[in-house]
Amino acid sequence: MTEHPAAGQPVSEQPVTVTASVPVGEPPAWAVLQRRLFSALDEVWRVFEEKYCDPDGGLRFDGTLQGRDGADDFYEPFFNWPMLYLLGGADDLLDACKRHWNGVTRQLTDAGFLVDEYERGYDWFHQGESLLMFYGICAADPSDEEFRRRALRFADLYLPASPAGNVDGPRRMIRAPHTGSDGPRRGVNEEWAAGYGAELATMRPYGLPLEDLPGIDTWDDLADPVNARRMGEEMDRRLGDGDVAVNLASTSLIANAWLYSHEARYRDWLVEYVRAWQERTAGCGGAVPDNVGPAGQVGELHGGRWYGGAYGWTWPHGLHSVGAVAVIAAMNAALVTGENGAWFDLARAPLDQVLAEATRGPIRDGDSSMAMTWRQRLGAEADGDLQLVPYRRGLHGWFDRQPLQLAFPAWIWWCSGEARDQRRLSRVEAECGYDWTTVHAFRDKEEAGHEAPWLSYLAGRNPDYPARALAMALGQVARRMALIRADDPAVDPDDIHRWQRLNPVVTEILVQLTTGAPAALYNGGLQQAGVRYWDADRARPGLPPDVAALVEDIDPVRIVVHLVNLSNTGERRVTVQAGAFAEDRIDQVVVEELEAGYPGRSRAYRADRFTTSTRRIDVADDHLLVILPPGTRLHLTLSVSRRQFTPSHPTFDRYQEKQK
% of the chain exceeding 70 in pLDDT = 96
The identity of residue 332, as a single letter, is N
Q: What is the pLDDT of residue 64?
A: 66
Sign, CA dihedral 203-207-213-218, equals positive
Checking if the pLDDT of 660 tops 60, the result is no
Average pLDDT over residues 449-461: 98
Q: Is 80 helix (H, G, I), strand (E, B) or coil?
A: coil
Q: Is 430 helix (H, G, I), strand (E, B) or coil?
A: helix
Give the closest residue to 377 by CA, choosing from 298, 462, 444: 444
Give strand pairing partners of 392. 399
Q: What is the pLDDT of residue 600?
A: 75
Give strand pairing partners of 585. 641
Q: What is the pLDDT of residue 69?
A: 65
% of the chain exceeding 90 in pLDDT = 88
Q: How far apart are CA 83 and CA 78, in angstroms?
A: 10
Give strand pairing partners of 625. 17, 575
What helix, strand, coil percent values describe the chain, rounded to 5? 40, 15, 40
**pLDDT band (50, 70, 90) for residue 390:** very high
Q: What is the pLDDT of residue 579?
A: 98
User: Cα 642–647–653 angle (5° rounding)?
Assistant: 115
Q: What is the pLDDT of residue 361?
A: 97
Read off the pLDDT of residues 153-197 as tens digits, 9 standing for 90 and up: 999 999 999 999 999 999 999 999 999 999 999 999 999 999 999
Average pLDDT over residues 363-390: 95
- Residue 37 phi/psi, 5° resolution? -65, -45
Read off the pLDDT of residues 506-517 as tens digits, 9 standing for 90 and up: 999 999 999 999
Q: What is the pLDDT of residue 10?
A: 44
Q: What is the pTM of this model?
A: 0.96
**pLDDT band (50, 70, 90) for residue 658:** low
Sign, CA dihedral 509-514-518-522, equals negative
Q: How far apart are CA 49 and CA 59, in angstroms?
A: 9
Q: How far apart are CA 562 and CA 547, in angstroms?
A: 10
Other CB atoms within 10 Å distance of the CB of residue 181: 17
Q: What is the pLDDT of residue 601?
A: 81
What's the chain's average pLDDT? 94
Average pLDDT over residues 233-244: 97
| Contacts for 426 with CB less than 8 Å, ≥ 6 apart | none
Q: How far apart are CA 195 and CA 217, in angstroms?
A: 16
Q: How far apart are CA 329 and CA 278, in angstroms?
A: 10
The answer to which of 225-229, 323-327, 562-566, 594-598 has the lowest mean pLDDT is 594-598
Give the closest residue to 659 by CA, choosing from 483, 562, 539: 539
Q: What is the pLDDT of residue 263?
A: 98
- The DSSP code sequence of 128-191 is HHHHHHHHHHHHH-TT-HHHHHHHHHHHHTTSTT-TT--EETTTTEES-SSBSTT----SS-HH
The identity of residue 134, as a single letter, is F
Q: What is the pLDDT of residue 12?
A: 60
**pLDDT band (50, 70, 90) for residue 66:** low
Checking if the pLDDT of 8 tops 80, the result is no
Q: What is the pLDDT of residue 76?
A: 97
